[in-house]
Structure 1
Amino acid sequence: MVVTDDPPILKLGVDDAIAGLVLSTEAQWNQTEEDWRIFLRDGVVFGIRDGMRLVATAALLPYSGNNAWISMVLVSGTHRRRGLATRLVDACLETARKNGLTSWLDATPDGAAVYGPLGFTPTLQLRRLKLAKPMRTAAAAPATATLDSLRARDRRATGLDRTALLSAFAQRPGSRIVSANGAIALVRDGRTARHIGPLFADHAAAALTLVNAIAQSDDRPLLLDAVASQAAFLEGLTASGWTIERPFQRMRFGPATAGAEETPFAVAGPEFG
């Protein structure tokens, strides 16, 4: 019999939402308890405990078309450099393999250096931007749009049916779906800042106009995860006071799935795709 000191990997339940939030808050991430409940309710979240304390997690969130998103790869500062994250990501990949799923994730530069040797292929790049102090004005807020409109545009851009995810976002207090001039976006509360995304538009000017209208109707810090190839959009954001906080590299493990019909201007977040 092989004896190992490695702590066991456990499947977490909805009662672990607060413990997960403690980990993401330690990492200064923007997730809320409601975000954790999505992963715990609709996906599979693996965790490692030290006694009763949750010290590491990784989540696998299935989408349509045999796809799944890996995220919430977190290790407490007291337990890093012990291989816990690698073990948890391996558990996600094994679950995806057994279910015939292509896995996706949005990695930091350090993470991309780890995931590449595991067999992940880089796809598009993202940039996390922040507007620390929106200038709320008396200008009219952008028009409200329907969930069906957002869902249809999201499917065109991702090739996925994410009705459950977008519905969960839209039903939260403080969330709104807004549109103007062919652009549409979802705005929702985060732990420390409101998040804009996904965001779709026919061209960069329309996307920028909608983002500016959102900023003028909000007084909390705003976050947005822009697609790096939308260069005019990125340039317009930084010119209007947004600052780039960090890059993300989108990566895929497994066969390519159906291509998208358009490129979004901003995504739902690196944890959701």
Structure 2
Amino acid sequence: MAATDQVGILRLGPDHALGGLALSTEAQWNQNEADWRFFLTQGTGFGARDNDGRLIATAALLPYSSGDAWISMVLVTASSRRRGLATWLVDACLDAASKQGFTTWLDATPAGAAVYGPLGFTPTLQLRRFRFGNSTRPAGALQLPPCDLKRFIARDVSAMGFDRSALLTELSGRPGSRLLSNGDAVALVRDGLKARHIGPLFAEGPDRALALVDEIVRSDAGPLLIDAVTEQDEFLKGLTGAGWTIERPFQRMRFGRATALPTELPFAVAGPEYG
């Protein structure tokens, strides 16, 4: 960590959203300015600057309930990597979480998982990110009925084991967001910087989940991303058969004791930045 000795931790606020967006855009992530503003308004952000005052690294801690929080937006600009900055900022998040009594979670890339394991994180769910390219909206495209937000939040609590009402209310209320149902499946569709994102997605079975995804594809111009839960094997096979391609894996990890046990396995999650 000696390379970080001359760098001070910066507490981030909403006015740092554009600096954070520059980092996530450099990394080709899908977060937009609204995502950054939510993290830096509702959560605790940490960062590091270079000698010119440019933001070069970030991490954020987003509380979800009285006992759980998400670590996300762990980014380091390419020219400043391999200096221990990411580990240093994650340590700052863990310290803040410890002081508030939080169990912390994150969704890691394979490279990130190799870093977080030695810090004490244990693996839970595995995820696969799928992409579907641009589609041409047909004339008279199907208009899916909306899903009740309270019902959607209740399904999410069952899947996560804790409450994320503030997050889901924010995401579903953004311009362009759609909270949809086909009767047996429900999903949130929202804008990202590079693609629309589907998830969370809950359903009575893989066939109903795939049917809803198909209806979304036919009623949304795309491109689309979905972060599918690997244990939902039939769902993943169905996505591949429908022309979706795998972009990358993620590993969900937890630091600390689980505060509650989930009672439902989702088909897709809200994204690695949110869980």
Structures share a fold, TM > 0.5?
A: yes
Structure 1 gaps of 5+ residues are none
Amino acid at match of 1:218: D
Which of 156, 166, 169 is residue 167 of structure 1 equivalent to? Answer: 169
| Match in the other structure for 2:126 | 125
Q: Is 1:89 matched up with 2:103?
A: no
| Match in the other structure for 1:271 | 273
Counting only pairs closer than 5 Å after superposition, residues 215-234 of structure 1 correspond to structure 2 as: 215-234=217-236
| Match in the other structure for 2:253 | 251
Q: CA deviation at 1:144?
A: 1.1
Question: In angstroms, what is the RMSD of aligned CA positions?
Answer: 1.1
Contact 1:47 1:54 in 2 (8 A): yes
Q: CA deviation at 1:142?
A: 1.6
1:124 partner SS: strand
CA distance in 1, matches of 2:183, 2:97: 39
| Match in the other structure for 2:73 | 72
Which of 238, 241, 248 is residue 239 of structure 1 equivalent to? Answer: 241
| Match in the other structure for 1:49 | 49
| Match in the other structure for 2:158 | 156
CA distance in 2, matches of 1:134, 1:260: 35
1:143 partner SS: coil
1:8 partner SS: coil
The one-character-per-residue Cα deviations of 1:195-228 (angstroms, maximum 9, x if unpaired) are: 0010000100000000000000111200000000
Q: Is 1:200 matched up with 2:202?
A: yes
Q: CA deviation at 1:132?
A: 1.2
Q: TM-score, normalised by structure 1?
A: 0.97
CA distance in 1, matches of 2:137, 2:30: 22
Q: CA deviation at 1:134?
A: 2.8
| Match in the other structure for 2:13 | 13
| Match in the other structure for 1:37 | 37
Structure 2 gaps of 5+ residues are none
CA distance in 2, matches of 1:149, 1:84: 41
* Aligned length, in residue pairs: 270
Amino acid at match of 2:8: P
The one-character-per-residue Cα deviations of 1:162-196 (angstroms, maximum 9, x if unpaired) are: 11101111111100100013100000000010000
Deviating runs (4+, > 2 A) in structure 1?
A: 133-139
CA distance in 2, matches of 1:18, 1:218: 28
Amino acid at match of 1:170: S
Q: CA deviation at 1:140?
A: 1.5
CA distance in 2, matches of 1:84, 1:6: 11
Contact 1:134 1:222 in 2 (8 A): no
CA distance 1:261–1:5, change in 2 (3 Å)? closer
1:198 partner SS: strand
CA distance in 1, matches of 2:253, 2:14: 28
1:144 partner SS: coil
CA distance in 2, matches of 1:135, 1:266: 24
CA distance in 1, matches of 2:155, 2:66: 17
2:168 partner SS: helix
2:86 partner SS: helix
Q: TM-score, normalised by structure 2?
A: 0.96
Q: CA deviation at 1:5?
A: 4.1
2:192 partner SS: coil
CA distance in 2, matches of 1:25, 1:87: 22
Could you tell me the percent identity over the aligned residues?
63
1:134 partner SS: coil
- Once the two structures are overlaid, the 10-residue window that deviates more, 137-146 or 28-37, is 137-146
| Match in the other structure for 2:112 | 111
The one-character-per-residue Cα deviations of 1:89-138 (angstroms, maximum 9, x if unpaired) are: 00001111111111100011111111111111000100000001235333
